[in-house]
Amino acid sequence: MKTGLLNPVTSNADAPAHAPIVELAEMAPGVDAGDPQPGGSLPDQLLAKARAFAEPLLTGQRFDTGEEALHHADGVSFILHGIGAPPSLRAVAYLVYASEYLNQPEEVVTRAFGLDAGGLVAHTRKLVQIQRNARDALGDESEGPLPAEQVERIRKMLLAFSRDLRVVLLRLASRLQTLRHYAESKLPCPRALARESMQVFAPLANRLGIWQIKWELEDLSFRFLMPDAYKDIAKSLHEKRLEREQHIEQVRHQLAQAMHDAGIHAQVQGRPKHLYSIWKKMQGKGLSIDKVFDIRALRVIVDDVPACYAALSRVHEVWHPVADEFSDYIARPKPNGYQSLHTIVKDEQGRFIEVQIRTQAMHDHAESGVAAHWAYKEAGTKGYAGVQAAGDFESRVAEARKTVLRQLLAWERDLAAADGEQQGAAGSGLFEDRIYVFTPGGEIIDLPAGATPIDFAYALHTNLGHRCRGAKVDGAMVPLNTALQSGQTIEIVSIKDGGPSMDWLNADLGYVRSHRARSKVRAWFNALAQQACIARGREAVEKLLQREGKTATKLEDLAASLGFRNADALFDVVGKDEYSLRNIEQHLRPAEPEPDPDEFLAHRLSKGDAKLGGGQGRGVLVVGMDSLLTQLARCCKPAPPDAIGGFVTRGKGVAVHRVDCSNFRQMAGRHGERVIPVAWGRQASADSAQYAVDLLVEGHDRTGLLRDVCDVLAQGKIHVLSLHSQVARERITITLTVQTADTARLGAMLAKVSQINGVLRARRK
């Protein structure tokens, strides 16, 4: 079974119809039906207005706990009133529950009651869902300490509280009212709910100093989780109740008279001991109930701190103090701000009495805790409850917020430490990766552990990080590479204009720890370098346009025509030397059509530009001249003094073949008109001209044959360019590409190769 603010159980018979919901939403800005009667203070009118608004929506509705929704809202408002919460917060308690039955609840509440109420309703609804998921994960029968998943959800709760800390008061009051309902109705309370109340809500109330809620949450959770132990202690106290009450009244009157006689103005009250506190002390110290000293307790409330110590002296004069049972929480307040003097004394009959001594302000804080900090929500600039808020109003608000948030963070660390002790190494260090620090206005900032003031500045705003030049931590100037700690207040000292330092990217100097800040610093320097590249590129392009006489050209149009998204993109690649200015020159100049190779060759042949070697007639192509495009055919690889012929190709000039080449004969047979006479020229016959010729050697495969062939060629000073051999059925075929200036020399060399042992044949390929 679940319970919470926003999980009502309705039936068709008693669920609110949609029409009234829409009607209420439409009339929300005026809320005529819920307006209070004239008279009363403005906060009280707001409270009455909120209840009138919620009543028609909540009447007849029930939560899944079985409690009536309107009764629950009234109970929450009453609990908040008991801890000193302002009327505006009590009014929101009604609006939170009523929002479940509204279409677009945040908008409706905002229009009717203002932006503050609408935001508070939204935050509370989200937090309720987080808590419900956490409770579901626990299971109804689970025991022991909180698991890591639950503690992680508590962290999320803390972050939710950081937006508006009044949310915690609403949730504490709501949970207490739910436990009261189970106690009054005698219904069994789900163990998961009671366990969450004991391990999450009660410690939270303790951290915030709200003792009234803390004690009652503990007692009710104790009653549901350990009913046998609860009954045993209750029975023991009940049997001695009359005697104890008589004794408390007697010593109360005795102490009040002693204070009066000493001239100390004081209120003396008797205080019952809470059952869970008794059980915990009995378990922790192994005591019987008779040995629990503070079952009988008195509280003395005086005017000021000196009167506290005067009252303490008077108490010790009246009764005998017990050694080692005195605590001075005024000189050393508890982490949550609690202050009081605690002492245990023994009366004339030897019975132990605990006496707490405090001022009225200490008492108010002890009873209401954080609730007292939120009176400013009613104050504005005109003050609240007679306290003026002008002047240092905002600073006092920020200090109140930071005080409470520090307690929440300390509570989280305590939970994490306890979890580590229970789970061992696997659970230790659960939250060591994050810290929480404050802005001067009290906003909480979540940072990685070891973060510096620069990380903090970048977390607030990128521009503030760039301009950061100094920092104050809790009011004291510190270096920018100082590691921050949770709970500190950080104030950034910045300049009007400027950027980060390259030193910030030096990991050894420790200026930046967070990924966000590091990426922002890198992005700033990358942008700076890009701007420099763009400036260089712009200058180069503009100079080019001046040389070309194209200064009227629009730069954006030029970039688009070259395929760039804008002019800066063109300047960037030009400045980085990734794009040549020659490309821009060619784009600016009109392109000249390339001549057709066939037409060019025909034109040259018709003019007789080529010369025949040896001084013969005109109109022939001479190999080796640069004026015409020629190439030696790869199929036959001609070389002087081979008989050669020319074939005019399409687009590749004249291909020169040996006249005995089979490919040449086939092409000449098909396209005889493209065959032209060619001859070797003087330059082709010169000793400096070298030609590649293919040789083919066949023989029997034997060891050393390839070496012998190469030796013969080397003796004839024939340079071998490449060699390939293939063996098949004990026959070897060797293909060689050699370099020669005259094929006539190859005849004698091939004859020598043929004489090698095992060679069957050697010839040109």
Say if residue 761's pLDDT is above 80.
yes
Q: Which helix (H) or strand (E) holds 161?
A: helix 148-163
Per-residue pLDDT tens over the stretch 44-56: 788 899 999 999 9
Stated length of the chain: 765
Q: What is the CB neighbour count within 10 angstroms for residue 267? A: 12
Q: How far is CA 252 from CA 244, 264, 267, 613, in A?
A: 12, 15, 10, 140
Instruction: Locate the DSSP E strands across 683-728.
Output: 691-700, 719-728
Q: Note the pLDDT of residue 626.
A: 47
The model's pTM: 0.48
Residue 298, strand partner residues? 270, 355
Residue among 336, 184, 355, 195 nearest 271 (CA):
355
Burial of 616 (0-12, 13-18, 19+ CB in 10 A): exposed
Residue 286, SS3?
A: coil
pLDDT band for 328, please (50, 70, 90 cuts): very high
Smallest Cα–Cα separation from 387: which of 86, 50, 38? Answer: 86
Cβ neighbour number for residue 382 with a 10 Å cutoff: 9
pLDDT digits (tens, 9 = 90+) for 649-664: 877 778 888 888 888 8
**425-446: buried (b, 16+ CB within 10 Å) or exposed (e) per residue?**
eebeebbeeebbbbbeebebbe
Name the more confident of 650 and 415. Answer: 650
CA proximity to 372, closest of 398, 394, 400: 400
Dump pLDDT digits (tens) for 435-471: 778 788 766 677 888 899 999 999 899 999 999 999 9
694: closest CA among 753, 639, 756? 639
pLDDT of 131 above 70: no
Over the chain, what is the mean pLDDT? Answer: 75
Nearest CA to 632 among 739, 747, 750? 739
Mean pLDDT of 696-722: 86
CA angle 42, 43, 46 (to 5 degrees): 90
Token pair recorded at residue 395 = 């600073």
Q: Which of 80-84, 208-212, 365-369 has the lowest mean pLDDT?
A: 365-369
Given a contact cutoff of 8 angstroms between Cβ atoms, the answer to whether 445 and 460 are in contact is yes
pLDDT exceeds 50 at position 610: no
Rounded Cα gap, residues 763 and 308, in angstroms: 126
**Cα 708 versus chain centre, distance:** 76
Residue in 3, 168, 24, 10 with CA at minimum distance from that of residue 104 = 24
In the chain, the N- to C-terminal Cα span, in Å, equals: 97
Task: Give me the pLDDT at residue 353, please.
Answer: 86
Residue 421 phi, psi (nearest 5): -65, -35
Query: In the structure encoding, which two tokens stand for residue 175, read together?
Result: 């949970």
- 171-180, 484-493, 605-614, 631-640: range with highest mean pLDDT: 171-180
Q: Running DSSP on this structure, what letter comes out for residue 68?
A: B
Name the DSSP class of 707. H
Can you give 484-538 as a three-state secondary structure string? CCCCCEEEEEECCCCCCCHHHHCCCCCCCCCHHHHHHHHHHHHHHHHHHHHHHHH
Is residue 357 within 8 A of residue 315, CB to CB? The reply is yes
Neighbouring-strand partners of residue 448: 434
User: Do 450 and 513 contact (CB within 8 A), yes or no?
Assistant: yes
The better pLDDT of the pair 404, 573 is held by 573
Distance CA 186, CA 206 (A): 27
Residue 103, burial from CB neighbour count under 10 angstroms (0-12, 13-18, 19+): exposed
Domains of the chain in sequence order: 8-225 (1.10.3210.10), 235-378 (3.30.460.10), 524-588 (no CATH), 597-685 (no CATH), 691-764 (3.30.70.260)
Pairing between β-strand 468-473 and β-strand 444-448 as defined by DSSP bridges: unpaired
Report which of 718, 689, 705, 684 is spatially closest to residue 754, judged by C-alpha positions: 705
